[in-house]
A and B are shown apart, each in its own frame.
Chain A
Amino acid sequence: MSIKIIKKGLSDRIEDLGRYGYQDLGIQPSGPMDFLSAQLANAILDNDLNNPVFELHFPASIFEFEQSMWICISGANFVPVINEKSVALNTPILVHPKDQLSCLQPLEGRTAYIAFKGKLDSNHAWLNSYCSFQTTLNKEDHFTISSDPIVAISLNPFKEHLIQQVQTSLFNEHEIRFIPGPAWNDLDAESIQLLMQAHFSIDAKSNRMGFLLEGPTIQLSEPKQYLSSAVTRGTLQLLPNGSIIILLADHQTIGGYANLGQIILVDLPRLAQFNNHSHFKLSITNVQTAHQLYRAKQSWFKH
């Protein structure tokens, strides 16, 4: 035993970068909502970027450590404290037996991540992945982490630069770009205009399956039925009542609603950090730009 949940949070999870190869069986890929922060927390600890992390939603779980280890907290700022003393984000932290980690308030962002140095007990893995399968972290859950002899981990100029780039991308930029999808041309002209000009926010009923948007009512130029087909992380689905849902990490594998477009991958971590008071606009981009941006951001992690 090395980490124990002593109080259950709202919906905390364990995630690595996703479970692919099973969507044809209806098994969703999952993975962190903000994969950039999950990767950052691992990078700061010199981990493989796919190492499993805890994903926290506020109110978050309270954790107790049962052995010394290095951890790193990234993503949303939930004002994390260890034994009631505040600790920094995006920094290696050495915790000791009996230390308790809790989060005080959702100051900035929506999801936080805890990475730890060491190897998580493989009992929690299923189908090549540690992603929670339709479960959340519960009180009394234990996670065994076999860590090598404790070696000091520190920040360096490379990591400091990486942190700055990730934080700017997540919290100082506001663009949410998409590529129009198969049903885009079925929208009426007025709806296209509304969609491109509106300020959207995220409805409180949103979760890891998708963000329901608050905004104008959008309509097809005439009612149309679609055969179900594959959807992706980032798909903009138009519901029959005229509202839009953006499918996210735990999305179903197929969908039968009008597919208006897909948010590009690089903008999904930013979207995942918007809280229910954030407002944002949608804009159109293309595949080539989306790929360039994705490659550029992933290259930040390479020395």
Chain B
Amino acid sequence: MQSQRSIFQIQLLGDHAIVFKTTTGLHDGIDHNLLAFNQFITDEKIKGVRDIILAYDTLTLIYDILSFDPNPYLFANHLLEKFLAISTNTNASKADLRCIEIPVCYDPSLGFDLSDAAIKSNLSIEALIQQHSEKVYTVYCLGFLPGFAYMGNVPKSIQLPRHASPRTNVLAGSVGIAGKQTGIYPMKSPGGWQIIGRTPLKIFDPNTATLTLFKAGDQVKFNPISLELFHQLNAHQDVD
């Protein structure tokens, strides 16, 4: 089992966190062992664990010093051994991942940078929309704002840098590109991403049980919709 154990490297992060990092690097999507380990740790309901944060090639446990195991490194090793012992036949495969479809209106009135982005990419607006919407993206992590999902990877031909100075007011639901990543602003916020469209869906709703549409590991596909349909479905309160 020694070789199997080395699928993750364990590192203590300060005095109240433990990082498990894949040793195989990041390829297309999140490593399936890391996704399975995330599920395993969640189901274990470990005493003293306050948060479990999955991001790209790492999973981080945040713990409460007073109620967690007094030897976190040893604990992490045991946890990993237990996981490896039971995980051989329960590996999550790509087919088990959720695929979420998000309607997006790619209209210049909502995607302020759409025309510019097409010019910079040397593509027609239609071609840019097609390239952005035909790919299935992976949610690599959530951060920056509640519910903000960092998704990748954007096709090389439409990768665009952030604005040198951020816009002060990007509206909730705005879909943007920043380098290899694409994402949706869950709420009105300053932001530097190139805005190419807008979804009528609420990405973050503090009044629902799930709070956000996405979690790390999800697969996401954008479906182009008309401006008319956008207005019919629009769940945001800040327009019209």
Contacts and interface: CB of A to CB of B under 8 A. Distances in A.
A27 B147 CA distance: 8
A21 interface: yes
Given A20-B51, A253-B142, A235 B216 contact: no
Given A230-B53, A298-B66, A26 B16 contact: no
Nearest to A232: B17
Interface in B40-73: 50-58, 60, 62, 65-66, 70, 72-73
A127 B51 CA distance: 14
B164 to A, nearest CB: 14
A281 interface: no
Contacts of A27: 146, 211
A232 B140 CA distance: 19
Given A232-B17, A291-B65, A182 B11 contact: yes
Nearest to B142: A26
B19 interface: yes
A179 B206 contact: no
Interface in A223-273: 227-230, 232, 234-235, 252-254, 259, 261-265
A295 interface: yes
Query: Which of B51, B58, B215 has the most C-beta atoms of chain A within 10 angstroms of its own C-beta?
Result: B51
A179 B55 contact: no
B79 to A, nearest CB: 17
A21 B50 contact: yes
B137 interface: no
Contact of B146 (A26, A232, A234): A26
A273 to B, nearest CB: 20
Q: Interface size class for chain B?
A: 35 or more
Given A25-B147, A229-B55, A295 B215 contact: no
Contact of A229 (B14, B19, B70): B19
Contact of B15 (A20, A252, A287, A298): A287
Contacts of B97: none
B65 A229 contact: no
A264 B212 CA distance: 31
Contacts of A181: 13-14
Nearest to A179: B14
Interface in B61-93: 62, 65-66, 70, 72-73
B57 A227 contact: yes
A20 B58 CA distance: 19
Interface string A110-136: 000000000000000011000001000
Nearest to B149: A26
A26 B143 contact: yes
B40 to A, nearest CB: 15
A208 B194 CA distance: 28
A280 interface: no
Contacts of B72: 287
B26 interface: yes
B141 interface: yes
A158 interface: no
B13 A232 contact: yes
Contact of B53 (A127, A253, A265, A294): A253
Interface string A291-302: 100110010000
A178 B15 CA distance: 9
A68 to B, nearest CB: 35
Given A26-B144, A232-B16, A254-B141, 18 more contacts: A20-B50, A20-B62, A24-B142, A25-B146, A27-B146, A179-B14, A179-B15, A182-B13, A228-B55, A229-B19, A229-B56, A229-B58, A230-B58, A235-B14, A254-B144, A262-B17, A264-B15, A290-B15
30 contacts: A20-B62, A24-B54, A25-B147, A25-B215, A26-B142, A26-B143, A26-B146, A126-B206, A178-B14, A181-B14, A182-B13, A227-B26, A228-B143, A229-B19, A229-B56, A229-B57, A230-B13, A230-B55, A230-B62, A234-B14, A252-B143, A254-B141, A259-B13, A262-B14, A262-B15, A264-B15, A265-B65, A287-B12, A287-B72, A290-B14
Listed from nearest, the 4 A-B pairs whose CB atoms lie closest are A262-B14, A230-B60, A290-B15, A254-B143
